[in-house]
Every structure is written in structure tokens, then in C-alpha cells.
Structure 1
Amino acid sequence: MKPLFVALAFLFLATAPASAALTPAELGKVGIDMPKDAHLPLGEKFVASTGTPMTLGEALAGKPGLMVIADFTCRTLCGTAIAMAADAAAKSGLTPGKDFSFVVVGFDPRDRPSDAAAMKAEHINDGPVKKNAVFLSGSAEAEAAVTNAVGFSYAYDKADDMFAHPTAAFAVAPNGRVTQVLTSMSITGDKVRLALVEASHDRIGTIADHIRLLCYGLDPASGVYNAGVLTWLRIGGGAIVTLLALGIAGMAFARRERPRRTG
């Protein structure tokens, strides 16, 4: 997974001044290398862009969530990444604040709630996602707890006062387990919907959504399903097999009953 996110990290340097001083070795450490069974530190304390203190768990509010990690004073693509994730969430067909939470966590401890508020105001369109989005800034320790939990690595360019970092959105289960990583540059409403349905542990989504997960959760390289889909298959697979069998039987019956053409 990491090489893809390393490549994405270079997008942030593409628009940086020519004097960017990061070495290839430093850039090589930038990316997302998510630990197995990654869980967010839900008890870490932050401050929302409104100035309200809250934990990460309170921001997720017991719902599946879509989380973005960003630099609130970024001069390159952070705003674009947030805008694309918010737009995809708005097109998911799910209701923000009811079906899922949208959370953006800052990773630069120098950023203040006012910086988070400015980023939110500028880069998310008016609507339900913006109304329910929570932007969090916090101490170096709290922010590091989040970035370390998901293997989010970045590098600081002191000469230009900017960061090289990956861009992605994380689908998170209500208990804080990270279930999917979605690249910000290819995120869509459909991908967000299926990721959140999976993260919800069957709390949201239609039967059709869950059937689609049989394809969505399959890794074509290894031919195996991810952990979340395997759990769902163990719980609901029998029902799906029954539904598919009934559907096939129905089609076969209809074929037998179809009148033969004459002449």
C-alpha cells in the first residue's frame, strides 16, 4: 500500500517553491503504512474549530466516520483533498450527522481552531456535510497519537515552512477501528458509501449495498476479502447464498415457463 501513498505525497511538493530542501531519503519516509487492526485513540482530547473541547470519540459520536488528516495552514493540496472528500461524502446518498460523521484532524500542533475554521469555511460547500463536519486541532501529543495510529508519516521542510505528507480519507468504525483507506485523488461518492456501510457493522446501507461489498472487499491481487467483509460474510453469508439461490431458481423457472415461439 505504501508506494501509492508515497507517490501521492509528492503531489504536495509539485507546487512547492524550487528551494524545497527535503532529501530523497526524507521523502522516502513519507506515506501511510497502516498497522494491522489499526484503531484510533478515541480518548485523545482536541478542540473543535468552534472552540469546543472534545475527544476524538465525541467527534465521531458513535457513528461510522470518514476522517481526513490535514495541515490547516497548508498552501498546496490539503484544501483540495478535504473538498474532494466532503464532495464524495455529500454524493454518497448517506446522511451526515445521522448515518456517519465527517472529521478532519490537524497534524501541525501550531495550527489553532481559527485555522481549522478558516479551512472549513473555504473548502467545504454549504450543505449537510459542512454543517456536521468537525475540524479538530490539538496538542502535539494528541495529534501524534492519531497519525501514529494509522501510520501517517510526513516530513517538514523548514526552509519553506511546509510539509510533505500523504493525502487520504480513512473510513472508521464506531469503535475507532480503521476499516478502509481511500485515496483523496480518486475518492467518489460510491466508494465512500460502501466504505461507510462496511464500517457501520450493518447499521446503515441496503441489502444491495452489502451484496456489492462482496466485490468491493475482494483484493484482486490476493483473491481474498478484507477482514470487515469476511466478518460480514460469516454473519450474513448464508442469507445472501439463499437469496442468490432463490433468484437463480426463479430465473430457471421463468425460462421453463416461457412459451415456445411457433412459425
Structure 2
Amino acid sequence: MSGPRTIWRSIATGLGALALLVCAASANTASAQAPPPDIGFDQNLGAQLPLDLKFQDENGETVELKSYFGKKPVVLMPVYYKCPMLCGLELNGLVRCLRGLNMSIGMTAEKDFEILTYSIDHREKPALATQKRRQYLAAYDCPAANDGWHFLTGDEESIKKLNEVIGFRTQYDEITGQYAHAAGLVVCTPDGMLSRYLYGVEFEPKDLRLAVVESSEGKVGGLSEHILLYCFRYDPASGKYGLAIMNFLRAGGVLTLLILGTAITMMLRKERGMMESHRLLEGSTHG
């Protein structure tokens, strides 16, 4: 019996040694690899955009960012037009959100806010921006908003500066010719201050609606939007609006008091009316 045991023990020892060698080789390979790409979308809330930066619009005209600011909030979305997947998902998600806003409450680009989509790839030119603009305006299907959505291209320096200010960190892959990047958009105040970030490739109409209302400093939206702002609170970690429990409870408490107060008032009036009727009846009987 000692023979087979010795053989199995030798095999086990050999496999263990082989496993250690594999682990060591994997560790050496991992340590030799470059660190993961530095990509992300940091929130620089309150930062001021450099509105003197120059880009080219979809017509090839040189424009300063300031030409889109001053009156309404601005939705800023960094993409690149030849992106094979993520940017298309973002833009399609934005279109669905915009259509939802238009159909539900009539909030549209141009009337309530401007949209600036800019390419993070300095090699892309206005002709491509024109093509993308035509494509997504057709999907938006809101002719009244056509002048409110702009597709920009720019030189490397302007793009880099704008990316830095909004916290958009990307990495270019020389092999694939593509950018590794995060997904989302920034809502800015009319004077160019970064107000709200919305992350992902799908944007809830409610979130964009509230971000625009907040960024407009109360100049956009009616009573219903301001009531929603009271009930929902912006969460910077998720880039979304969540139910503000305490505000909701306070509102519920106030509403309950109003209902109770109204009910008590109506009961008192009814009781006074009955007493008055009873008095009149007694007076007529005695007479």
C-alpha cells in the first residue's frame, strides 16, 4: 500500500508546485501590466465654465461657448461622433428623455434650455457633426426645438480644457483608435456654472426636468415643478433625484392639518347652522 500512497503523494506535490508556479507567473504578469485607464466623470459642482473657449458649430463657423449662454440653462454632453457604442446609447437615451419631456409637460430644447453636444476627439470635423445633428434631430422629432440642439467640434486644447473643467477623464487607445470614457451629461446655469450631473445612458425625464428647473434659478417651470423640487432631492453620488423623505413627511403633515382644519370648520359651521335653525323654529312656535 505504501507504493500507491507514495505515488499519489508525489503527484499532489507536483500539482501543488505547478499551481504555485502558475500563480507566481500570473502575479508577475499582472504587476508588469499598466494600471487601469484613468477614466471617470467627476462632479465639479459650482465650477465656472471658461465661456471664451472656441469651437466650431455644425456649420463650420467658429463660436465661443458664451454664445449659447446667458438666458437659459445649458445641457452639456461630451461624446465622440465615431464612437461605436456608448455615445450612441447616450444620445438615444437623451432623445427618449427629450421626447418624454415634450409629450408630458411641453418642456423642449430652445424654449426651456439649450443642448451642447461636443466631440472629445479633435480629429472629428463639422461635416460629421452636421450628419449627427441631422440624425438626432430627426429622432427627437420636435421641429420647434431644432435651433436648441447644437453639435460642436474643436481643437485639442479647447476640448482638453473643457473636459478638465467638467471632470470628464478619458483615455485614448492607439490600437483600436477609440476612447475609453464614462457616460453622462452636465446641466449648467445660464451664466455657465456647473449645476447638476446626470450619469448613465438613460435619463429620466423627471431628473432632467428638475435639473433644468434648479439650474434656471426658478425662471423655468411652473408651480408643479417647484412642488416636485420640494419632494425630490438631488443625490450627487448617483446623479439622480430621490424622494426627499422629510420634505414629503412635512408636506403630508401640512396637508393632513389642512384637511382636519377644513373638516372641523365645516362641522362647526354646520353645527351653528343647526343651532340657528333650532332657535328660529322655537321662536316661531312660541309666537
Q: TM-score, normalised by structure 2?
A: 0.68
1:153 alignment counterpart: 169
Q: Deviation of residue 67 (structure 1)?
A: 1.3
Q: Check the 8 A contact 1:49/1:116 in 2, yes or no.
A: yes
Highest RCO, 1 vs 2 (Cα 8 Å, sep ≥ 6): 1
* Number of equivalences: 220
* Residues in 1 aligned to 2:176 and 2:57: alpha-carbon distance in whole angstroms: 27
Match of 2:110 among 90, 94, 97: 97
SS of equivalent to 1:195: helix
* Residues in 2 aligned to 1:219 and 1:163: alpha-carbon distance in whole angstroms: 28
Q: Check the 8 A contact 1:49/1:135 in 2, yes or no.
A: yes
SS of equivalent to 1:186: coil
Which has the larger Rg? 2
Unaligned ranges ≥5, structure 1: 1-22, 226-236
* Residues in 2 aligned to 1:167 and 1:204: alpha-carbon distance in whole angstroms: 26
Q: Deviation of residue 82 (structure 1)?
A: 1.4
Q: Say whether 1:117 aligns with 2:127.
A: no
Unaligned ranges ≥5, structure 2: 1-32, 242-246, 272-287
* Residues in 2 aligned to 1:170 and 1:90: alpha-carbon distance in whole angstroms: 19
Call closer, same or farther: CA 1:129–1:184 in 2, change over 3 Å. farther
Q: Say whether 1:252 aligns with 2:260.
A: yes
* Residues in 1 aligned to 2:66 and 2:172: alpha-carbon distance in whole angstroms: 28
* Residues in 2 aligned to 1:181 and 1:147: alpha-carbon distance in whole angstroms: 14
* Residues in 1 aligned to 2:65 and 2:183: alpha-carbon distance in whole angstroms: 20
* Residues in 1 aligned to 2:49 and 2:96: alpha-carbon distance in whole angstroms: 24
Q: Say whether 1:205 aligns with 2:215.
A: no
Match of 2:201 among 148, 162, 185: 185
* Residues in 1 aligned to 2:51 and 2:236: alpha-carbon distance in whole angstroms: 32
Q: Deviation of residue 56 (structure 1)?
A: 1.3
* Residues in 1 aligned to 2:225 and 2:34: alpha-carbon distance in whole angstroms: 43
1:214 alignment counterpart: 230
* Residues in 2 aligned to 1:58 and 1:90: alpha-carbon distance in whole angstroms: 25
Call closer, same or farther: CA 1:197–1:26 in 2, change over 3 Å. same
Q: Say whether 1:79 aligns with 2:91.
A: no
* Residues in 2 aligned to 1:25 and 1:31: alpha-carbon distance in whole angstroms: 15
Match of 1:53 among 62, 65, 68: 62
Q: Deviation of residue 172 (structure 1)?
A: 0.8
Q: Check the 8 A contact 1:60/1:103 in 2, yes or no.
A: no
Q: TM-score, normalised by structure 1?
A: 0.74
